[in-house]
Amino acid sequence: MDELNNVLQIVGFKNSGKTTITNLLIEETKRLGLTVSVIKHHGHQAKLKTPDPSVDSMQHLEHGADCSLVYGNGLLQIHDRLGEQDGLASMLDYVQKYPTDIILIEGYKEAPYPKVVLYRDEEDRQVLQDLQQIEHMQWSHAEQLGETMRMWYRTWLGENNETV
């Protein structure tokens, strides 16, 4: 995979505002007329919720398919048996097949991409400050968090993406 200059990670511990900020960055990306793909790490202990086992695509997996895709009403649903080791790399390869200006990754703290780090308190900040490629660290409870992140993101986009 070539070096990606259109990838930004949003990382932090549970309940630090990652999904809120990811959604804000998606909206800002679209407001700028750009396309955006999002990869989400499901770091919870529970398994991902999947469609009912009686659904055709799930039956295909049950009978040994390594990948099952379903398309309908303009939406593509994919179930792929990615190994834990190559999950992020495989998903990045996948989203690059589609025209996408920006790839946001929610989670995967240890991945080697530029990061926005959200921290809830000083203890979080101390633990997270040693991650690779931190572009911006932000207290997740700061006043004006949304506007601060929008302004920072616009600057980051201008510096890192020739599309903007």
| Tokens 């303009």 sit on residue | 74
The ranges assigned to domains in the chain are: 7-45+83-160
Provide the CB-side half-sphere exposure for 135 (13 A, CA): 20
Q: Note down pLDDT in tens along the chain; length 164 residues.
A: 345 679 999 999 999 999 999 999 999 999 999 999 999 887 656 676 777 778 888 888 888 888 888 888 998 888 777 766 667 888 898 888 888 999 999 999 999 999 999 999 999 999 999 999 999 999 988 778 889 999 999 999 987 766 65
Q: What is the pTM of this model?
A: 0.84
Q: Which amino acid is at 20?
A: T
Query: What is the enclosing helix (H) or strand (E) of 36?
Result: strand 36-40
| Tokens 């770091």 sit on residue | 43
Burial 15-34 (b: 16+ CB within 10 A, else e): ebbbeebbebbeebbeebeb
Task: Please name the CATH architecture into which domain 7-45+83-160 falls.
Answer: 3-Layer(aba) Sandwich (3.40)
Q: What phi and psi, each to the nearest 5 degrees, are found at residue 105? A: -120, 120
